[in-house]
Amino acid sequence: MEYLSIVFQEVYKILFLLVPVLVSVAMIVWLDRRVWAFVQKRQGPNVVGPFGLLQSLADALKYIFKEIIIPSSSNKVIFILAPIVTMTLALIAWAVIPFSATQVLADINVGILYLFAVSSLGVYGIIMGGWASNSKYPFLGAIRSAAQMVSYEVSIGVIIINVLLCVGSLNLNDIVIAQQNMWFVIPLFPMFVIFFISALAETNRPPFDLPEAEAELVAGYQTEYSGMMYAMFWLGEYANILLMCAMGAILFLGGWMSPIDVYPFTLVPGALWLILKILLLFILFALVKAIVPRYRYDQLMRLGWKVFLPLSLIWVVLTASYLFYFNLLPVN
């Protein structure tokens, strides 16, 4: 009985986290299309519901009732597994995101490593989908995305090291609390910019959406997918984008901390601040999608390996030596 009550409690907590995440993924798709439209002086989705807010719900309903087509020459098990993997990985990472000092599903010691590991596993959904489709365009998309995501992970890892040098702990709550006096976006501003661009590449967002470049590859790894399986890829992708935004907010923008430590601001719950910061980053993501043209593949690789990696490595040396000489290294 005791075990059962613990299990129920955990399930309740998980549902309390995942349902809002899924709903906000649907909302964020609407926001993305809306921002994109406004930049181009269009209206965007504005018919279903107030301001078109229910557009994503209508889309989801459409996807559910569509037929799922499995190509006869595909590798069926892996073909079906691929969207499931994408979706699962995008959702399990939310377990460690702290919404306030106490509101964390799993407050683990190595939270940031867990986030990094899960986001680096995200590439498997795409590779599996691309390979199992047994078709030219998906395969090309999968190969591209494998190379792209592995390359940009390296620079994200080095940027995380930069932040960790200032914090002295891998726990996400410790990282947030370490920014009490100053958000890391101020001393580590170049790293924030590089993190933002790498996050765009890591989540296959424009201008780095080469895995699904519709002009060259039809829709990349999603070409053969239809109905709910396609929708799961889509949901997973947007959940991943939100996750990267949350990671950026926690690493650089002070997570659930209020921007000013004065009376009326401290009343606002931490979760709301985190959500606002995630939204800010996401609107930046959406704006970039609207205003920047797609990169060429060799330019993408050059940017990752020849610009971002050396820059962030040099910054690690700079941060470390600054902290060392001014005796600011966090010791606990």
What are 260's two structure tokens?
């000013």
**Given the rule CB under 8 A, which of 89-97, 116-124, 217-225, 280-288 is the region that contacts other proteins?**
116-124
Q: How does DSSP assign 193-240, residue by residue? A: HHHHHHHHHHTT-TTS-GGG-HHHHTTGGGTT--HHHHHHHHHHHHHH
> Considering beta carbons, is residue 42 or 306 the nearer one to other proteins?
306
> Considering beta carbons, is residue 123 or 229 the nearer one to other proteins?
123
Q: Which whole-number Å values give the CA distances from 190 to 100, 136, 187, 223, in the listed order?
A: 27, 39, 9, 37
What are 89's two structure tokens?
């990985």
In angstroms, the CA 39 to CA 80 distance is 37
In angstroms, the CA 100 to CA 93 distance is 17
Contact flag: residue 27 with other proteins (CB under 8 A): no
Contact flag: residue 108 with other proteins (CB under 8 A): yes
> Considering beta carbons, is residue 171 or 179 the nearer one to other proteins?
171
Taking alpha carbons only, the member of 33, 116, 85 closest to residue 236 is 85
Least distance (Å) from other proteins to the CB of residue 26? Answer: 28
**Given the rule CB under 8 A, which of 48-56, 95-103, 115-123, 201-209 is the region that contacts other proteins?**
115-123
Least distance (Å) from other proteins to the CB of residue 234? Answer: 22
Task: Single out the residue of 114, 252, 282, 295 in contact with other proteins (rule: CB under 8 A).
Answer: 114
> Considering beta carbons, is residue 147 or 284 the nearer one to other proteins?
147
Residue at token pair 């005796």 = 327
Which residues ranging from 131 to 190 are in contact with other proteins (CB under 8 A)?
131, 139, 142-143, 146-147, 149-150, 153, 157, 170
> Considering beta carbons, is residue 17 or 82 the nearer one to other proteins?
82
In angstroms, the CA 174 to CA 331 distance is 13
In angstroms, the CA 234 to CA 119 distance is 16
**Given the rule CB under 8 A, which of 110-118, 209-217, 239-247, 311-319 is the region that contacts other proteins?**
110-118
In angstroms, the CA 151 to CA 199 distance is 12
Contact yes or no for 201/147 (Cβ under 8 A): no
Residue at token pair 């600054």 = 322
Contact flag: residue 301 with other proteins (CB under 8 A): no
Q: Helices 123-132 and 111-121 meet at what angle, rounded to 10? A: 10
Encoded one letter per residue, x for contact with other proteins by CB under 8 A and - for no contact, window 223-262 reads ----------------------------------------
Give the footprint of other proteins on this chain (CB under 8 A): 3, 78, 108-110, 113-114, 116-117, 120-121, 123-124, 127-128, 131, 139, 142-143, 146-147, 149-150, 153, 157, 170, 298
